[in-house]
Structure 1
């Protein structure tokens, strides 16, 4: 795959989102607890990244890390779901297949509330690790089936941890997926050069995972201020006629904790405050709106 460092080359597509605004905002909730590596689940090692780096030796069960992840399902999901419901805002849920298989009633509840079911792989792992297309197809099909069985909806969007493999996008296209979000390189969707897939870019900067990274967010206000700064910049560009997309990513075990939940609440309030000037939408709706603009000829 040849790297494209130019993209739109400063000639942005003239896209107006369905509500008449130029700035779209995607809220993403990662639903992956129970799909991470854990020795207790038969894996050779347990996930190291959590509230602290695991100090348990590989091959030994890390009960603490298991519990840190379990918090997202046992407590965090309820706070997040209730806040979105009160605000009447819809998100895209990045569902790991194995997490859905272990908590199908939670997955169904979120989708029944109107949120989008997207695929986050079978496990919380990089798809770049798959040794062959055949192995990747097996797990993608397994994840797709688990999500559809639990929610009644077949996912049309995809995002995996880390990186796709050289074959991921072709497999997704074969399976009828509409978009991938493993693109960290733009502020607008774009067409993949080798498949029929649309790339709806994602972002790691406006993402609560930075609470788990050194030199990232520590206090809730730090994430709120960061997202507000992003909204200010993109809204100013939108006022000059440039279509834009802002991604805000959350994890149930991270922002679901009480002190960090204040960041989620404040960001949701800020989106509601600006609601007339932007479009908060599910990623599948963003993809379809962008494709419709393409079909109309708005995008060369």
Structure 2
């Protein structure tokens, strides 16, 4: 059997995790800033086998043209900096979005080249070249070298964490199996919590409504805060501008962030800052024992 890239560690048996200023829940928005190829299938609202596919491609492209700008206004309103899951081709196709994020000091994570191509089936040498190009393109466009990675549709190869470590990255979001960061078996690499549950793409395409989304965000925070009485937790909110950026949904994102931002025990942060704090506090403490 292929060994998992992490060891089993029940959350009940770990040292206490603390966040800055005594906060109990570290909250970040994972904003998927993606681009899609018109002649290749990807996330679709109706499964069709057409080239081109105006219906599905247009639905996705709404995010870059309109939806992301609506989301930016809402994030700004509550002082939330995005943890941006960035396809490197956005630098070429939608540079205005990157400019807006740089002005707001967003965190930038490598998220493949396009969400029309999954990060799988690569030999190590080919993958090293692909990752080098993706990371280099994002660094050139944003002025920051990415610290984290999330593959398109959360895809990796068996070699991805080690190759990312070679390139100076320090964490991945692909393994959505925890409410706290934890070390991978690749030296220096962490897993930071992400979510496929509190994720607009999965929720709304299953038929949930804006009020459902709002209640789920509130419930997620409330339970994590209760859990954090003994040790800090991470709450990720995964957003896609072509989904949450629709007018009838954006209203409920506004209300959800209003609720989160008003909580006295929340640390409004980024995945970069969560990884850095864990590395310099919790992980350093564990290693010194």
TM-score, normalised with respect to structure 1: 0.88
Seen in structure 2, the aligned counterparts of structure 1 residues 109 and 24 have a Cα distance that, compared at 3 Å, is same
- Deviation per CA, 1:251-276: give whole Å up to 9, x if none: 011100001112211111011111x2
**Mapping for residues 48-59 of structure 1, pairs under 5 Å:** 49-50=43-44, 52-57=45-50
Aligned-partner Cα distance in 1 for 2:283–2:161: 22
Aligned twin of 2:129: 138
1:171 matches 2:171 = no
The answer to whether the 8 Å contact 2:18/2:231 transfers is: no
- Deviation per CA, 1:194-246: give whole Å up to 9, x if none: 231111121100110124533xx5211111111111111111111x2221111
Aligned-partner Cα distance in 2 for 1:83–1:27: 12
Gaps of 5+ in 1: 40-44
Aligned twin of 1:277: 265
**Mapping for residues 20-35 of structure 1, pairs under 5 Å:** 20-32=22-34, 34=35
Aligned twin of 2:219: 229
Q: In the TM superposition, what is the alpha-carbon distance from 1:103 to its structure 2 partner?
A: 1.1
Aligned twin of 1:46: 41
Gaps of 5+ in 2: none
- Deviation per CA, 1:16-35: give whole Å up to 9, x if none: 11121121112110001x2x
Aligned twin of 1:259: 248
User: 1:19 aligns to what SS in structure 2?
Assistant: helix
User: 2:231 aligns to what SS in structure 1?
Assistant: coil
C-alpha RMSD over aligned residues: 1.9
- Deviation per CA, 1:128-184: give whole Å up to 9, x if none: x23312222222222212212221111111101232110100110000001111111
The answer to whether the 8 Å contact 2:46/2:56 transfers is: no
Aligned twin of 2:3: 2
Seen in structure 2, the aligned counterparts of structure 1 residues 78 and 141 have a Cα distance that, compared at 3 Å, is same
User: 1:135 aligns to what SS in structure 2?
Assistant: helix
Aligned-partner Cα distance in 2 for 1:195–1:213: 38
Aligned-partner Cα distance in 2 for 1:111–1:13: 36
User: 2:29 aligns to what SS in structure 1?
Assistant: strand
User: 2:138 aligns to what SS in structure 1?
Assistant: helix
The answer to whether the 8 Å contact 2:33/2:241 transfers is: yes
